[in-house]
Amino acid sequence: MVGMRALVIAAEEGGHGAVEAGTGGFWADTAGIMLVLPFVAFLLILAFGKRLKYKGGELAVGALAINLLWATVLFVLNMTGGVLDQTTFEIARIGSDLVFELGWVVDGLSIMMYFLVNFVGLLVFIYALGYMEGDVRVDWFFAAFSLFAGAMLVLVGAPNLIQMIIGWEGVGLASYFLIGFYWEDLDNVRAGNKAFMTNKVADVGLILGTILVGVAIGSFDFSELSIAAAEHAEALGAVAVAGGLLLFFGAMGKSAQFPLHIWLPDAMAGPTPVSALMHAATMVTAGIYLMARVFPLFQNLAQDTRGLMVVIGAITLFAIGLLALVADDIKKVLAYSTVSQLGYMMTAVAAGGYTAGLFHLFTHAFFKALLFLGAGAVIHAVHSNNMSDMGGLRKEMPTTYWTFVVGSLALAGIIPLAGFWSKDEILATLGHEGYTAVMWIAIAGAFVTAFYMARAVALTFHGTYKGEGHPHEAPRVMTAPLVGLAIPSIFVGILNIPGVDWPGIGNFTEWLGVRVVPMGDYHPEGIDWSLAAIGLVAAGAGLALGWLIFSRDRATQKARDRFEVPALYPLLRQKYFIDHAALGVVGATTGPIARFIDWTNTYIIDGIINLVGGVVKALGEFVYGTIDQRAVDGVFNGLSAVTDGAGSAVRRLQTGRVQQYAAGFVAGALILVVVFVLIV
């Protein structure tokens, strides 16, 4: 076991000014419990889930409830004094220097994610008890859901790149199970395959980047990487740009950055609780978390990569957000929104706004989980995902309606809700770092976000009901988590108001900065009210225009939703033809290219192998039949026959009769005498 304190001392001696923090004592030393419990629940559900009342759901909820206790205590300890600790166990060595370790890290970044995954995860798991009641394979759902949460915690707690890859791939596997959960429908299977394969393409970058960076510094440990980057280590500097680009490519897949965003909207095929947890606190945040964990690399050595990262993030936040304007599936509206918000986060981190990007990740988790669970409650009530089958639900579903409105306003960035403070900090950071054009794109993105959320609220909850059946409010087990998420969606933004230090606890920037090498990124000292006003005006204008266009009721939802921007909307409906291009690549791979490879394998590679095999077979027969059997065996058999004949002849002399031996002796003596006389 290795403690973090040695690394803290090393960082201080290197002049990096590591923050003063405690070790967290018992709670940090045992934080590994959080990484293990969901896997225990996974195994227990597989073994006993079918026999339990909630088909194993109670085990999944119990595991995250215990986890939340640890995460909350660590969160409070970090707020009040800072916690910095690491526990690792050596598993194996690669050569004499590279060490493979497993363990857990406890610092500002990981503590924030521990709390987020377990708090949001627990509420989503509770919600799922009601949502999945009576569904197919409920025990398998909760088992896979526990695996999903556990893999994310392994990723979050990773002290090194190798363990992060293990958690990374675990999250990908669990998401594959859950996206394609309703495998009876071929479209769901295709959605799961699309998510899995798109992420596998990006994972190549993560693995190659890990090898490049790890070999360069002689360690896969994040703390060693941070210190090497802060010291501008020559070995790391030589590969910093290439390694940084490869790691970023890996992050593009998980966090759905353009053009690898194509899997995320299709991932809505899974049950809605999966969508909520995936979009709020687990899978899609993994790429942002990776960029934050290796942030010193980009801050100190790989600055040349940041321009490209900002461009990709800006395209993602604006261009992909526009696709929500034409989506009819309420979950896909929210999915495109998630891609857009991930673009905000990536842009902020790439621009140097470590705190800004992660604060938005923090606030976004609450209101995006709220919106997805609200959408799930609506789908649960009307048995359709399409807003064309909805309308007028605010009277039948008041709790869902008001909490959904709270989530929508927070997402739009309306003061004083959480999204306003985190999005405003991103705008301020972009302006401060000189990315003025990108800042204005982000402001335009805020207008678009508000516009499509006004559309979603109007078409779903206002007017008259256009669907079939009788919609109803969700049961308490589903509405209670909505309220539980609506409260932080309103208030958590105040944790990082520029210029405000809360007595005894400081602010989010300080908590997040508890790391071996502090980030030292920009955090505004006060609110730039002029910039905040511009952002608010953009969001307000989007809400007002969206409400003006879509609130008026008509005979059908299609008539209500007939707003069209010439040239733009047809392009959006085709998703910029990016999906078509991707399918073309896949089709070429699975069609002509696959057939060519099969022909090459059958007639060329197999032909060569068969020819070589025939030659080897003939040679073997020649060696065995001619050389071995006739020549080698013939020689040995001949020698054996001669030896056997000589032995038989000599054997006749050995009769055992003394008289014969005496006669032989006398005869021999006489012969010797005769010979001796004749010679002499």
**Is there a contact between 449 and 546 (Cβ–Cβ < 8 Å)?**
no
> What pLDDT score does 594 carry?
66
Name the band, by pLDDT with cuts 50, 70 and 90, for residue 341.
very high
**Is there a contact between 211 and 162 (Cβ–Cβ < 8 Å)?**
no
> What pLDDT score does 591 carry?
66
pTM of structure: 0.85
Rounded Cα gap, residues 426 and 310, in angstroms: 12
pLDDT in tens, 115-131: 999 999 999 999 999 99
What is the arithmetic mean of pLDDT over 485-490?
96
Sign of CA pseudo-dihedral 331, 337, 343, 349:
negative
**Is there a contact between 357 and 481 (Cβ–Cβ < 8 Å)?**
no
Question: Hey, what are 680's tokens?
Answer: 């002499």
Rounded Cα gap, residues 353 and 437, in angstroms: 16
What are residue 398's phi and psi, to 5 degrees? -65, -40
Integer angstrom CA distances of residue 101 from 74, 113, 164, 240, 286: 23, 21, 11, 23, 20
Rounded Cα gap, residues 229 and 244, in angstroms: 12
pLDDT in tens, 200-237: 999 999 999 999 999 999 999 999 999 999 999 988 98
What is the arithmetic mean of pLDDT over 467-480?
91
For the chain, give the number of residues.
680
When computed from its CA atoms, the radius of gyration of the chain, rounded to whole angstroms, is: 36
> What pLDDT score does 638 carry?
80
> What pLDDT score does 19 carry?
55
> What pLDDT score does 587 carry?
60
Name the band, by pLDDT with cuts 50, 70 and 90, for residue 589.
low
Position 558: which residue type? K
The average confidence (pLDDT) of the chain is 89
Residues linked to residue 100 through DSSP beta bridges, in sequence order: 92
The residue with greater pLDDT, 368 or 655, is 368
Mean pLDDT lowest among 20-24, 457-461, 590-594: 590-594
To 5 degrees, how large is the angle CA 420–CA 422–CA 426?
A: 110
> What pLDDT score does 601 carry?
84
> What pLDDT score does 631 carry?
80
Question: Hey, what are 328's tokens?
Answer: 């009819």
Class of residue 442 by CB neighbours under 10 A (exposed 0-12, middle 13-18, buried 19+) = buried
**Is there a contact between 264 and 257 (Cβ–Cβ < 8 Å)?**
no
Name the band, by pLDDT with cuts 50, 70 and 90, for residue 654.
low
Which 3-state string (H, E, C) describes 28-89? HHCCHHHHHHHHHHHHHHHHHHHHCCCCCHHHHHHHHHHHHHHHHHHHHHHHHCCECEEEEE
**Is there a contact between 229 and 262 (Cβ–Cβ < 8 Å)?**
no
Does residue 82 have a pLDDT over 70? yes
Give the single-character DSSP code of 106.
Answer: E
Position 382: which residue type? V
Does residue 74 have a pLDDT over 70? yes
> What pLDDT score does 258 carry?
93
> What pLDDT score does 667 carry?
82
Half-sphere exposure in the Cβ direction for 217 (13 Å, CA): 27
Percent of the chain with pLDDT over 90: 67
> What pLDDT score does 324 carry?
95
pLDDT in tens, 379-428: 999 999 999 999 999 999 999 999 999 999 999 999 999 999 999 999 99
Rounded Cα gap, residues 402 and 382, in angstroms: 18
Rounded Cα gap, residues 157 and 71, in angstroms: 12
Closest CA to 112 of 150, 142, 83: 83
Rounded Cα gap, residues 546 and 532, in angstroms: 21
**Is there a contact between 188 and 181 (Cβ–Cβ < 8 Å)?**
yes
Name the band, by pLDDT with cuts 50, 70 and 90, for residue 102.
very high
> What pLDDT score does 382 carry?
93
What is the arithmetic mean of pLDDT over 648-673?
74
Percent of the chain with pLDDT over 70: 94
Cα 292 to chain centroid, rounded? 14
Mean pLDDT lowest among 435-439, 480-484, 601-605: 601-605
Does residue 1 have a pLDDT over 70? no
What is the arithmetic mean of pLDDT over 28-47?
95
Does residue 43 have a pLDDT over 80? yes
